[in-house]
Amino acid sequence: MSSPIQNTLRRRLLVGALVLATGLSYGLLARPAKAQSQTVNPKVLRIGYQKYGTLTLLKARGTLEKRLAPQGISVKWTEFPAGPQLLEGLNVGAIDFGTVGEAPPIFAQAAGAQLAYIGNEPPAPTAEAIVVPKNSTIKSVADLRGKRVALNKGSNVHYLLVRQLEKAGVAYGEIQPVYLAPADARAAFERGAVDAWVIWDPFLAAAEKQLEARVLADGRGADGKNIVSNHQFYLASRPYAQARPDVVAAILDELAQLGQWADKHPKDAATVLVKETALDAGVLDLAVSRFSYGAKPVAPEVLAEQQRIADTFHTLKLIPKPIRVADAAWQAPATQQAQR
């Protein structure tokens, strides 16, 4: 009998196939994207989310709908299997707002996507990791030299892998990256088709709980300092942010309030996520324990961290050209800032 996590992963794979079939693929990672001419619908807010995290909680609680209803604005939610696909959806005008990890907006910006950084959550360095099978002979990151490592190309874990390899003195070209979406990567990991897997929660927690996967390294260094921050970013299409800065500010405010609640009530947050995702309660308890809440506008120092990631990816020729991350920063209108 299939477990809830297996059923959910199958559903995610189906969503991924549908996304690919409708053109919301990894195109932003592989080729320059033409900026799409977008018409903003002032009465519909379209949010892209992944089936875990704060936007899933926001969707379940319905507070944003209640806040926007007096303005006659409805909210439409669309699930995506990972950040790269979500941001291509943003670029082609399928959604107005969404959340992803650190790497996807860099790939998207390099490909010409019209996006704007709206906010971010605090660092969550332990919510992503490199894992190996429980009986693997691989004992350190240095042992990954020559090994097959599965990861979702352009996702937040891409930078984690790059930095951990760098720390271990292993060149990125010395491993064999196998680019797979989470569902496919888990299947490859289970059957031994790859030697290691770089993944984020709740897939990470599921691998630990259900497969007894061993964490080789996460976002922390041996000295306890963060090697990567693993921020979650909230982004909007630039046309939408420019047309409806009031709605964008309202979303960020609702997320901040939600974060305060979830931080004080982690068990309740996990219970909501169990209902929304059909994932195992133990898996979500572990994943939620590593999540960081507290959405706020993106500070200059966070943009500087993003710039370092972008520069690293350009050096490795993972993106086709250098970018200036600050060009994608969103600044609320002065009149609105005064009101907040």
Average pLDDT over residues 167-178: 96
Q: Under a CB-based contact definition with an 8 Å cutoff, are residues 8 and 278 in contact?
A: yes
| Domains contained in the chain, number | 2
For residue 95, the domain's CATH number is: 3.40.190.10
Average pLDDT over residues 13-22: 32
In a domain, 223, yes or no: no
Give the structural domain span for 145. Answer: 125-218
In a domain, 225, yes or no: no
52 with 105, same domain: the answer is: yes
Question: For residue 38, what pLDDT is reported?
Answer: 64
pLDDT at residue 332 tops 80: no
Query: Tokens 């199958």 map to which residue?
Result: 10
The more confident residue out of 108 and 155 is 108
92 with 178, same domain: the answer is: no
16 with 144, same domain: the answer is: no
Nearest to 103 by CA among 248, 317, 299, 318: 318
pLDDT at residue 187 tops 50: yes
pLDDT at residue 291 tops 70: yes
For residue 172, give the amino acid letter.
Y
Question: For residue 334, what pLDDT is reported?
Answer: 60
The more confident residue out of 77 and 281 is 77
C-beta pairs of 69-75 under 8 Å, 24+ apart in sequence:
72/43, 73/42, 73/43, 73/44, 73/45, 73/247, 74/43, 74/44, 74/45, 75/44, 75/45, 75/46, 75/47
Structure tokens at 192: 């031994």
DSSP designation for 226:
B
Q: Under a CB-based contact definition with an 8 Å cutoff, are residues 98 and 90 in contact?
A: yes
144 with 90, same domain: the answer is: no
Question: For residue 4, what pLDDT is reported?
Answer: 41
Q: What's the CA dihedral at 331, 101, 157, 164 to 10 degrees?
A: 40
CA 277 to chain centre: 16
User: Given pLDDT bands bounded at 50, 70 and 90, which one contains residue 302?
Assistant: very high
Residue 177 class from Cβ within 10 Å (0-12 exposed, 13-18 middle, 19+ buried)?
middle
Last residue of a domain, one of 218, 249, 274: 218
Q: Under a CB-based contact definition with an 8 Å cutoff, are residues 260 and 78 in contact?
A: no
320 with 235, same domain: the answer is: yes
Mean pLDDT of the chain: 86
DSSP designation for 237:
E
Structure tokens at 85: 């696909």
205 with 250, same domain: the answer is: no
What is the enclosing helix (H) or strand (E) of 246?
A: helix 245-264
241 with 194, same domain: the answer is: no
90 with 235, same domain: the answer is: yes
